[in-house]
Amino acid sequence: MLGLGIMGAAMATNLLRAGLRVVGYDPISLCRRRLRRAGGIAVSSIEEVFGSCSVLISSLPSVNALRAVARSVPSRRRRKQVVIETSTLPIAAKQAARRRLAAAGVTLLDCPLSGTGAQARSGDLVVYGSGNRFSYRRALPILRGFSRAQYYLGDFGNGSKMKFAANLLVAIHNVSAAEAVILARSSGLDPKLAVKVLGDGAGASRMLQVRGPMMAKRRYRDATMKVEVWQKDMKIIGAFVRRLRSPAPLFTATKAIYNAALRRGYGKADTAAVCAVLERRRSDGVK
């Protein structure tokens, strides 16, 4: 396991519960200690993970982190290694890493995930798989160890394209859930009850289900997706939308709200904090 943050740690824990041996690395020592406590083997470098595993999973925060992985293939390694790349990153960056790893005899799969940190902990993730079909089939038992559904989408990069479409919806549904919770509270309804009732109706969404309770309680610090991390996803999706000239007025409208959350000190809070931003705008009389 390369990367033991919110998502990586959850995947590692579920793989351990499934009875698999997990060797992991993260530059943050606290993350490595958590893996040890969960029963995994924490090592001190990317090279050691390559030297220990035939199938690796990368869950990374940035393009630079992916480049570091691609540069770290040791000369002595296991044959026919596969790296399952689960991060949300630009397709061009993944293609560059794929070429570099291929030159070293390692196959990179593009397999981003749909789901929050909380969903990752319960195994409620969906895999958008793409790349070499044979390698994907080989990786499938491991993917099943931490996810509830797996879709093979064909050529390398198609997984990321699907993830961009999925996160476009997340951006919109998260803000729309906040608007609905605020409307319910403003009208005198119990917001906790409103989240339950709305979740059973035609307007239900996974974001309402996952983040509605946080919005009802006005508690955003137990982050399953930090606002500052979400900004990275927003930029990647925005650039992809502009390149294709695909209409996305609702997605574009949400950017200002997420940016406001960052400016108001919610960078390390969950993206459910957009509810606090909208409530602030309401109290300030901003339309």
Dump pLDDT digits (tens) for 13-56.
999 999 999 999 999 999 999 999 999 999 999 999 999 999 99
The pLDDT of residue 234 is 96
Strands 41-42 and 107-110: unpaired
CB burial of 149-167 (b: ≥16 within 10 Å; e: otherwise) equals: ebebbeebbbbbbbbbebb
Is a pLDDT exceeding 80 seen at residue 75? no
**Top-level class of domain 160-283:** mainly alpha
Of all residues in the chain, the percent with pLDDT exceeding 70 is 97
Question: CA separation (Å) from 18 to 52, 81, 114, 147?
Answer: 19, 21, 20, 11
- CATH H-level, domain 6-156: superfamily: NAD(P)-binding Rossmann-like Domain (3.40.50.720)
Alpha-carbon torsion (10, 11, 17, 20), positive or negative: negative
Average pLDDT over residues 136-159: 97
Strands 107-110 and 82-85: parallel
Is a pLDDT exceeding 80 seen at residue 85? yes
Is a pLDDT exceeding 70 seen at residue 82? yes
The pLDDT of residue 77 is 66
Tens digits of per-residue pLDDT, 151-181? 999 999 999 999 999 999 999 999 999 999 9
Q: What is the pTM of this model?
A: 0.93
Average pLDDT over residues 81-98: 97
Which is nearest to 126 in space by CA: 93, 102, 153? 153
* Equal CATH topology for 6-156 and 160-283: no
Identity of the residue numbered 122: S
Q: Where are the domains of the chain?
A: 6-156, 160-283
Tens digits of per-residue pLDDT, 258-280? 999 999 999 999 999 999 999 98
* Cβ neighbours, 10 Å, residue 71: 12
Average pLDDT over residues 198-216: 96
Is a pLDDT exceeding 80 seen at residue 131? yes
The pLDDT of residue 194 is 98
Average pLDDT over residues 79-84: 91
The C-alpha atoms of residue 188 and residue 100 are separated, in whole angstroms, by 58
Is a pLDDT exceeding 90 seen at residue 287? no
- What is the per-residue DSSP string for 206-229? HHHHHHHHHHHHT---S-SSBHHH
Question: CA separation (Å) from 138 to 54, 107, 131?
Answer: 10, 11, 12
The pLDDT of residue 135 is 97
The pLDDT of residue 240 is 98
Q: How confident is the model at residue 108 (pLDDT cuts 50, 70, 90)?
A: very high
Is a pLDDT exceeding 70 seen at residue 76? no
Output the average pLDDT for the chain. Answer: 95
